[in-house]
């Protein structure tokens, strides 16, 4: 059994941001990070990779280059949380105890929950931007598309970057127009949600984009099965239970997602499987020496890197206050940001809090499509991520 001061599980955006902020302190505590991955991916660019703007290699860097100086890196996987014993068990059978635990294990892609889908991404026009391994399938499917139905799905679960399924749809629409095949195509957004976007200010613009492009919407429809060789997708209406079948030439799948099984199977989880934390302090509801942020947490906000950028300093401040026996006064207001690409060279930058109130960063109406915001996503935000957030400086 190995004892640690602060143990962080997960070396993605949340885990590395918290580790870097802790180690940047004048008198930093000892920090140990559990993370098995050899590489770290900047996932927000996968939309542009799928559309053919970038090569996916530009989104990936070596994990070792971003482990903060002084952090002890255990390159292994957590297989069990035992918060009642202040213990994390790793795949090598080792038991790691801690004074405080930070859970930042991300989100799990549940491809298997769509009948007939596993093993067929990249075949029969089926594609997805939702993993490094599958993102090139979208570029290939668009290049091979000659007409018919291009269907884009959104599942009936929380997802990382909830805008991503429609971002690739708008870019795909541009690709098909440039290829001269849009006039013999139907672009269909089959989404489990009830509207194009949850914040009315931005939904107004996106509804106009959909209308301008002639995109068909089919809300409250959840993808439940595919027949790859027959190119048929089956959806269930979430209110009536009625089944609907769509034939497709291209099917972009946003898979169902959930908290990782290691969380769901532990005492850390709430009834829905997420790490149960206070939505303002990020401290666990039942285990005060545990904190969590990012996609695996129960925070009722969009799961985006921008949300983590605001969560990390709050978590660090409250963790340090807890260690010092002081009140937890730092508060996260639910800020999230979704840079909604609406076409090549166009982007709506949605920023909002728990109450759906716009929290915009620039002195203009961000609900309007702008090239400047597209350039921000393509060039500035990756630099902010690699050299700011992951270094604990932004």
pLDDT per residue as tens digits for the range 83-102: 999 999 999 999 999 999 99
Q: Give the side-chain half-sphere CA count within 13 A for 144.
A: 15
pLDDT digits (tens, 9 = 90+) for 359-392: 999 999 999 999 999 999 999 999 999 999 999 9
Q: Is the pTM of this model over 0.95?
A: yes
Can you list the positions of beta strands (E) in 228-386?
232-237, 243-247, 250-252, 257-258, 290-292, 336-343, 346-352
When computed from its CA atoms, the radius of gyration of the chain, rounded to whole angstroms, is: 21
**According to the model, what pLDDT value does residue 40 have?**
98
CATH code of domain 110-257: 3.50.50.60
How far apart, in whole angstroms, are the C-alpha atoms of residue 223 and residue 90?
35
What's the mean per-residue pLDDT of the chain? Answer: 98
When pLDDT is cut at 50, 70 and 90, the band that residue 321 belongs to is: very high
The torsion region of residue 70 among left (phi > 0), alpha (psi -120 to 50) and beta comes to left
372: which residues sit within 8 A by CB, 6+ positions away?
Answer: none
In contact, 166 and 153? CB cutoff 8 Å: no
State yes or no: pLDDT of 8 exceeds 90: yes
- Give the helix/strand (H/E) hosting 209: helix 200-213
DSSP character string of 105-130: ---EE-GGGSBT-TT-TTSTTEE-SS
The catalytic position among 338, 340, 341, 347 is 338
The pLDDT assigned to 379 comes to 97
The residue from 78, 107, 126, 161 that is catalytic is 161
Q: What element of type H or E holds 190?
A: strand 185-191
Give the tens place of pLDDT for each residue, 39-86: 999 999 999 999 999 999 999 999 999 999 999 999 999 999 999 999
The pLDDT of residue 1 is 83
Q: Which superfamily is assigned to 2-107+259-332 in CATH?
A: FAD/NAD(P)-binding domain (3.50.50.60)
pLDDT, tens digit (0-9, with 9 covering 90-100), for 172-221: 999 999 999 999 999 999 999 999 999 999 999 999 999 999 999 999 99
Domains 2-107+259-332 and 110-257 share a fold: yes
- For the chain, the domains span 2-107+259-332, 110-257
> For this structure, is 161 an active site residue?
yes
3-state per-residue secondary structure call for 219-255: ECEEEEEEECCCCEEEEEECCCCCEEEEECCEEECCC
Q: Does pLDDT of 332 surpass 90?
A: yes
C-alpha angle 107-134-389 in degrees, rounded to nearest 5: 50
């Amino acid at each position: 059994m190995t004892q640690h001061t602060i143990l962080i599980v997960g070396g993605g955006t949340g885990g590395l941001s918290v580790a870097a902020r802790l180690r940047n302190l004048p008198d930093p505590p000892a920090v140990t990070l559990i993370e098995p991955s050899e590489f770290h991916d900047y996932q927000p660019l996968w939309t542009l990779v799928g559309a053919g703007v970038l090569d996916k290699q530009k989104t990936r860097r070596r994990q070792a280059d971003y482990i903060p100086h002084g952090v002890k890196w255990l390159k292994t996987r957590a297989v069990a949380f035992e918060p009642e014993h202040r213990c994390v068990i790793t795949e090598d059978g080792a038991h790691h105890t801690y004074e405080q635990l930070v859970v930042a294990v991300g989100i799990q892609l549940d491809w298997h929950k769509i009948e007939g889908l596993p093993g067929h991404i990249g075949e029969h026009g089926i594609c997805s931007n939702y993993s490094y391994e599958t993102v090139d399938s979208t570029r290939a499917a668009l290049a091979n598309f000659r007409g018919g139905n291009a269907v884009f799905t959104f599942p009936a679960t929380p997802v990382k970057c909830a805008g991503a399924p429609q971002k690739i749809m708008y870019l795909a629409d541009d690709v098909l127009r440039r290829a001269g095949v849009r006039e013999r195509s139907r672009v269909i957004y089959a989404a489990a949600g009830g509207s194009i976007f949850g914040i009315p200010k931005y939904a107004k613009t996106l509804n106009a984009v959909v209308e301008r492009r002639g995109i068909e919407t089919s809300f409250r429809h959840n993808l439940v099965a595919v027949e790859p060789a027959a190119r048929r997708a089956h959806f269930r209406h979430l209110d009536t239970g009625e089944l609907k079948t769509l034939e497709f030439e291209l099917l972009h799948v946003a898979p169902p997602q959930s908290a990782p099984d290691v969380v769901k199977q532990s005492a850390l989880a709430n009834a829905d499987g997420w790490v149960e934390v206070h939505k303002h302090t990020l401290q666990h509801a039942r285990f005060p020496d545990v904190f969590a942020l990012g996609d695996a947490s129960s925070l009722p906000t969009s799961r985006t890197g921008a949300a983590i950028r605001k969560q990390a300093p709050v978590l660090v401040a409250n963790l340090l206050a807890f260690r010092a026996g002081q009140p937890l006064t730092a508060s996260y207001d639910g800020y999230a940001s979704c840079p909604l690409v609406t076409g090549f060279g166009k982007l709506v930058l949605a920023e909002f809090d728990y109450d759906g109130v716009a929290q915009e960063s620039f002195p203009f109406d961000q609900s309007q499509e702008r090239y400047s915001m597209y350039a921000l996503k393509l060039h500035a935000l990756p630099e902010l991520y690699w050299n700011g957030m992951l270094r604990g400086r932004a």
